[in-house]
Structure formats: C-alpha cells, structure tokens
Amino acid sequence: MNRHSVSVLWMGIVAALFVSSAVLTLDSASAKNMYAKPATQAAMSEFLIESPHTPEECLGALDAISGQGPKALARWNFGCAWGEHVGWAIVKAPNEQAALAMVPAGLRDKAKIHQVAPFTAGQIKKLHEQH
C-alpha cells in the first residue's frame, strides 16, 4: 500500500468515527427529524416552557416528560417536591409553536411558552439611558 492510499484510508476511518459518534449522540426524536430539516435552518430563539399540573396529575406529567427520553427529561426542572406542581424547561426553537411541540401532547393545553433572552450590562445601561 502506498503512502497516498494509507492517508486516504486514515481520513476515511476518521470521517466514519466522526459520523458514527454524531449519530450516537442524537436522541431518537432528533434522529427522526434529522433528514426533515430544510436546507436553511431557521434562527433559534430561547423559550422558557412553564408546564403546570395538579398534584393528582403529577406522576402522569412526570411520566409523559420522562417518556420523551433522558435528554428531554434533563431539560426540565420541577417544583413538585416542594408543593409547586410546575415543570420548567429552557429550550431553543425557531418559534413558539416549535417550543410548545416539545411539551408532551397531554400537557400542552396548560403549558405557557415565554420567549426569553439574556441581557448584557451594556444593554441594561442603554435601557436606563432611554428612560
């Protein structure tokens, strides 16, 4: 095998490892939608999802969110253990409807979606100067 062939072989191996590791890190929902994305991806915004439920609905709500997989569950924080039966998640999505679609279907009717963004110290200073 000549030197060029060995280089091409190594580049192929590295590319295969990169692609396989990227695919392995996708959750099942992302993997299903990977090929459905348009060629130009929409700008992503941050949204705070607020998903209230009653104490009686609590385990069902937790099961529904957990059923979306470990990556989805890791996005959520809950106040249930302290008597506030609400789940909160900060997600990136192209719009409010896409953020709402991240909430399990049975919880969407009560969910509230809030677009959020951080402020820099400079932005806060400008806001004070305008008022």
| The model's pTM | 0.65
Q: What is the SS3 assignment for 9?
A: helix
Specify whether the CB–CB gap between 117 and 43 falls below 8 A.
no
Mean pLDDT value across residues 86-97: 98
For the chain, the domains span 3-33, 45-121
Model pLDDT, residue 1:
53
CATH 3.30.70 holds for 45-121: yes
Name the DSSP letter for residue 104.
Answer: -
Backbone torsions φ then ψ of 93, nearest 5 degrees: -155, 160
Model pLDDT, residue 42:
72
pLDDT at 32 over 70: no
What residue has token string 């409010």?
96
CA gap 62, 78 in Å, rounded? 9
DSSP 12-66: HHHHHHHHHHHHHHS-HHHHHHTTTS-SSPPPPEEEEEEEE--TTTHHHHHHHHH
